[in-house]
Amino acid sequence: MDQGWAAVIAAIAAGVFGIAGALCGIVVGRRQAADQATVEHGHWLREQRLKAHTDLLTHWDEAIQEMGRFQDGWNEQVESLQEGGFVVHPSDVAARKWDEVWPELRPRLEQAELLGPSAVTEAVHDLRAVWREVSDMLHKQGSQDPFERPRIEWLLVMARASEERSNFHVAVSNVMRTPPNPRGEPLP
């Protein structure tokens, strides 16, 4: 009878361990699939970010160069419009230039901001702030006499724009150098 009980206990133990092993296999398998999905999503997100961030950098550079060219040739543009019979104030010309450049830049800033992560979102906020400074400086200079426009103030704002672009680039570089993690991204 001892051998009979031993066989029954062995069969029960084998069944329990078999069921436990199957359950562990299911849990581990699901976890592995979830980790794989998280990593694949991380790769996809990384690709989307790379496109958005490089697009923003390209459009940022174009917008800043355009504003710089505008500032350098401001008087000629105002005179050209006035010679054409238009009565314009220099600040109106600055607003017109803003209206040309901003619609191209804004969606790129928004896309980079939406894709994050938080360090990049903060850098985008800083880019927006310095872009407002560029705009404010142009409007301020538009209300001044052309010979009284302080060039040094403009150069300081442009230097700040360059600095914020560099800060954005550093934030993006740090994100791009971090490989996707099965645990996902840390929450801010």
Is 90 among the domain residues? Answer: yes
What 3-state DSSP class applies to 103? helix
Q: Tens-of-pLDDT digits for all 188 residues of the chain?
A: 577 777 777 777 777 767 766 666 666 666 666 667 777 888 888 899 999 999 999 999 999 998 888 887 777 776 777 777 766 676 777 777 788 889 999 999 999 999 989 899 999 999 999 999 998 888 787 776 666 667 788 899 999 999 999 999 999 998 888 877 766 665 55
Question: Does residue 154 belong to any structural domain of this protein?
Answer: yes
Residue 17 lies in a domain: no
Split into its structural domains, the chain has a count of 1
CATH number of domain containing 98: 1.20.120
pLDDT value, residue 65 = 92
Q: Is 60 a member of any domain?
A: yes
Q: Is residue 97 part of a domain?
A: yes
Directed axis angle between helix 2-72 and helix 74-83, to 10°? 60
Is 183 within a domain?
no
How many of the other CB atoms lie within 10 Å of CB of 96?
13
Listed residue (65, 66, 158, 52) closest to 107, CA to CA: 52
Question: Cα separation of 91 and 138, whole Å?
Answer: 7
Neighbours of 134 (CB within 10 A): 21
Q: Is residue 86 domain-resident? A: yes
**Residue 141 domain-assigned?**
yes
Give the domain range for residue 133.
48-177
Q: Measuring CA to CA, which residue among 86, 85, 92 is closest to residue 142?
A: 92
